[in-house]
A and B are shown apart, each in its own frame.
Chain A
Amino acid sequence: MKVLLTGGRGLIGGVIAQELVSRGHEVTVLQRTPSGLDLHERLTEQLGDIRDPSVMNHACKGIDGVIHAAALVGITGSWSDFESANVQGTQSVLDAARLAGVSRFVYVSSPSVAHSGRALVGAAAGVAEPDLVRGHYARSKAIAERMVLAQSSATFAAVAIRPHLVWGPGDEQLVGRIVDRARSGRLVLIDHGRALIDSTYSTNVGSAVVSGLERVGRADVNGRAFVVSNGEPRTVAELVTRIVSAAGLPASSRSIPYPAAYVAGAVVEGVWRLSGRRTEPPMTRFLAEQLATAHWFDQRDTRQALDWRPEVSLDEGFAELRNWYVRAGGVAD
């Protein structure tokens, strides 16, 4: 089918585009700056802002399905920035898709839309709760997800896919930051990294999202939200150590207790706010909580409804990550 994918520049956008192409779909990626993907006749690119109706109306012409992955991601930033990019942006994509008569819509969401900060142990996806979630990012994604799913009908099938903690070669969000810290000797675990958390190897997200697109018309998919993960929860300590090892760096065993991390987060946030810095602070209360609290999910429903299994296991994923660092020249094999 003809598919429009927003946000082709990010890690997730890239793997989705590749998966679409490999399954024989015709893809247009749309974002403000060039995606850096290898373009060809079945993978074309359009540049523009998703909030611009004329850009979107043009992009949606003749399209069968839209995958909306573009979003502003971050743990700091003002509400108005998140609202504009993630809420208004989604509304704009949604409007254009409806106007153009698109029949399938996949919203790439986040498990944080239903996460109030409590430990999640084998949790179900849960309903997006803008009023309960932590942080501007999660709130904006929660509002957007509700907007999308509220539109779902027999003629406009919509699904939300929430990949959990995505990592892989080239990932700057998680892998890049952890490796940077390890390299500069600033890597510290909270409570020995004992919380059990799910994560998702990047290419598995691609196959899950495309499976969602292909099956979105089914009654057990349409209108619902699915958390996607590798289904192999591990301790924070193990994930961090294996990422650092893949980059060829020594593991750190430094740990601070959760209350200390939380206070440090509060102090750092205060300093950043007072000094008006726009960069990401090294620690926030939200981050401390995320790194110290279990979150892993019951994957049975997701796998059943999407008829999907993660193709790359964690072990294989870490081997890929290691190869990537070796190829990048940073690690002696």
Chain B
Amino acid sequence: MVNPPLSVIGLPGIAPEWSRQASFIDSQNEMRSVHALDTHCEPSSRDNITLTLVCVHGNPTWSFMWRKLLATAPVGVRVVAIDQIGMGLSERTGAIRRLEQRVDDLTRMVAALGVTGPVVSVAHDWGGPVSLGWVESVIAHTESQCTIQGVVLMNTAVHQPNHSHAPALIRLARTPGILAMVAEKSAGFIRGTTLLSGSSMPAEVAAGYRMPYSNAHRRRAVREFIADIPLETDHPSAAVLDRIAEDLTLLDHTPVLLQWGPGDPVFSDIYLQDFIKRIPHADVHRYEGARHLVIEDASQVVGDLWSWVASLGESPEQHSGDEAENVNLNAAIAQRSLDASPAIITLAERGSARDVSWSSLATVVDRMARGLALRGVTPGDRIAVLIPPGPDLIAFVYACWRIGAVVVITDAGLGIRGMRKAIRGAGVTHCIGIDRARPLLRTIPVPGLRLSMRDLADVVREGWAPSPSSDPLPRKSGDEAVVVFTSGSTGPAKGVVYTHGQIQRTCDLLTQHYALTPADGLVAAFAPWAVLGPALGISSAIPDMDVTKPRTLTARALADATLAVKGTLMWASPAALANVVRTASLSGVSPNDFTTLRLVLAAGAPVSAQLLTEARALFPDAQLRTPYGMTEVLPVCDVTLEDILEAGRGNGVLVGFPLPGVEVQIATLDADGCPAPDLTGNPDVTGEIAVRADHMRDRYDGLWFTNSLASQNPGWHRTGDVGHLDARGRVWIEGRLSHVITTSSGVVTPVGVEQAVVSLDEVVSAACVGVGSQGDQQVVVVVTGPHAKSVVASPELTSRVRLVSGVDVAAVLIRDELPVDIRHNAKINRTAVAVWADHVLSGHSR
């Protein structure tokens, strides 16, 4: 057949000199012509090559899709992107090429293109099986010219998971008649692929993808490729694909990176989970929002790939603590299995309460654990749990921990879409939820159990045994226990993995620092903390409130809960505490209702000294402390009200000394607001706060690059908060890294400015944001409180704001209220405020 007369000249992002043709003899002894994009076409230019990327496209794309990799290749790295036979600008042959032949072709093409030495293979879509078949043969046969240093896979598959159907789109395309029509006779399949991209692809890029497939003859292989997908077990390629999947064990000592667009309607998360099962050591990053053509949809993919390649050969992060040590979070439940006193008290309307004693908790957990195991839940299985905080959730969590299942906990603060994304991303095997969560759970694909609360009651019944089982197998410290999610106020929620050991160490720290004993009673006004009650060995009470809305907690409800559990310590979010203070006198609640409290912890969002002072009047016998921490590590620091008042105003919020065993350091910000790679313990330097502690999170789930960024200083967690240490070693929080304002005269952090502005009489709340571009932003302060006809504050208020803030404020604007996060009702969404301020100050535009 003749070579295609097409060329890459004029295509966006392609250097014409990358384009080359080479010949090889295929297994039928035919001379074939392959086209490739190659950063080093000239053999003489390859002298100092230390690594080659071999990139294999899928169907119906071509080497064009790898152009950004070629364009950004570091010095000493060669990138070769081949066009499979019949595809791209490679030769059109007369006959269908099946998977086995394509793997063989690739082996010969790589040799013909002069690829030798260390190689990282990169593949997408149906390029995955082809590329993996070649990789496996290289690893298995030592005489190869190449050595595989790593494998990168994007939205591909090697196996149809047993419990699932083939992608509907592929099944449809495979229907006889339709196949030829969409794939060959029309450009439908080709166009469809670029439409499957999530971003609105520039027209010239979409045209670049379509270029080699301009007529039916040129599209023939597109159809044949689809026809070669072994959906049936007796398909000629089925055995080959199965062997490729089985031989993935050959990759046990090869680094693997999975870069995934979770919005792919063809290669959905099911296939990602299949890979994770087959290659447990793979580094995984899901690009939330990206679809099939993940390399086009997510701008970070290429940069991330290079940083992963650069990390090859580095030793992985060391975990603190002994991974193999035994841990038993259920120890207190077991110890108190004969104790009839309440473990969990749930308050309902009008002071009525439901008690669960330690002994009944022990019984329920024991039976539930056994029942779940009987239904097929095995250690390591992930279970999505959509049960609001309360006795049912607590029993379920400890039952799961007992049998080694991992609970995936989302909260309503993420919103329905956020929860769905979070659960899908966590790759759960089973799910359980209350009736209200059923519509959401129905959209989550699970291979295992899908339980309602009624089902759970059955599970407990099924778990009945004549006598309680002996002590469960202790879990290992390094076993995963839970996946919880960040609030997602800055981008999609991130799943955070904690192991049994990390939770145990968190409990140990809380017990030690707050001198907890079994005689204590916890008022869990921030409901999630009730879950830790049994592990801490203390009883807890959950006040009557809508746990998803902290502002619904009244003083009366808190007083009832305190009385019920004879509460000695209380954990509340600032928004809840503010409402308690507000409603106290109205509902006839007085300090007399809280005399048992010795410790009040306010945490979850910045707490003002004013709120704490007001709260102290209500809890005169208790010490008020505000712990600082985050989903990834909690607590980090804490501080008493007295210390806050004594310190007075500073640049930010004082959160106190790091707790015993916790270290805090600073990554200094440069003029563009970027944190330095190294950390410093020097005082009065503003930068990103980094934390090192034994009890911190294990890692981010399925976000390898987020994880490597947060863990760039080995053993440390980059928090995304900015602040500084003072001369005494105390930590001050100045805001979020993403909210830092970069002016031409330096960086401005928001919290200190906001605190100063809120001290003005007419101001209720304030947000300090930047408008304009990085490095040349103007500071704008948006306030609530003043009544005004105009969105622009009066000159008098503006000059007062300038005076107290001490920074060059371009404008002061007035709003009715500021947007806050759902979870805590307290964290100001400064990003949204900045967008609004920019819009207002742009005036009439466009």
Contacts and interface: CB of A to CB of B under 8 A. Distances in A.
B842 interface: yes
A326 B798 CA distance: 25
A299 to B, nearest CB: 7
A298 B778 CA distance: 10
A255 B810 CA distance: 21
Interface in B750-796: 771-773, 775-778, 789-792, 795
Contact of A195 (B775, B789, B808, B844): B844
A197 B450 CA distance: 59
Interface string A116-141: 00110110000000000000000000
Contact of B792 (A238, A245, A299): A238
Interface size class of B (residues with CB under 8 A): 20 to 34
A192 B795 contact: no
B841 interface: yes
Interface stretch (A172-180, A206-214, A289-297): A289-297
A294 B810 contact: no
B845 A293 contact: yes
B844 A289 contact: yes
A232 B776 CA distance: 11
A89 interface: no
A310 interface: no
Interface residues of A, number: 34
Contact of A241 (B744, B778, B795, B844): B795
Contacts of B798: 238
B792 A235 contact: yes
A194 B789 CA distance: 12
B789 to A, nearest CB: 7
A300 B842 contact: no
A258 B842 CA distance: 13
Nearest to A245: B795
Interface string A226-244: 0000011111111001100
Contacts, number: 96
Contacts of B790: 192-194, 237, 253, 255
A55 interface: no
A314 B57 CA distance: 60
Contact of B789 (A122, A253, A294): A253
Contacts of B340: none
Contacts of A238: 792, 795, 798, 811
A190 to B, nearest CB: 8
A196 B789 contact: no
Nearest to A293: B843
Nearest to B840: A194
A194 B808 contact: no
Given A121-B771, A235-B811, A294-B845, A194 B776 contact: no
A191 interface: yes
A165 to B, nearest CB: 14
User: Which of B792, B845, B846 lies at the interface centre, i.e. has the most chain A CB atoms within 10 A of its CB?
Assistant: B792
Contacts of B772: 121-122, 296, 298
A331 interface: no
Contact of B773 (A233, A258, A298): A298
B392 interface: no
Contacts of A234: 810-811
Interface string B157-175: 0000000000000000000
B843 A122 contact: no
B684 interface: no
Contact of B778 (A190, A233, A300): A233
B792 A294 contact: no
A293 to B, nearest CB: 5
A185 B772 CA distance: 35
Contacts of B838: 121
A122 B773 contact: yes
Given A192-B791, A238-B795, A118 B841 contact: no
A234 B793 CA distance: 12
B525 to A, nearest CB: 42
Contact of A237 (B777, B792, B842): B792
Contacts of B846: 118-119
Contacts of A121: 771-773, 838, 841-842
Given A122-B778, A298-B744, 7 more contacts: A122-B777, A192-B790, A233-B810, A245-B795, A253-B789, A255-B790, A294-B841
16 contacts: A118-B845, A121-B773, A194-B792, A194-B813, A196-B811, A232-B808, A233-B811, A234-B810, A238-B798, A242-B795, A258-B844, A292-B843, A294-B842, A298-B776, A299-B776, A300-B776
3 closest A-B pairs by beta carbon, nearest first, are A195-B843, A122-B772, A119-B845
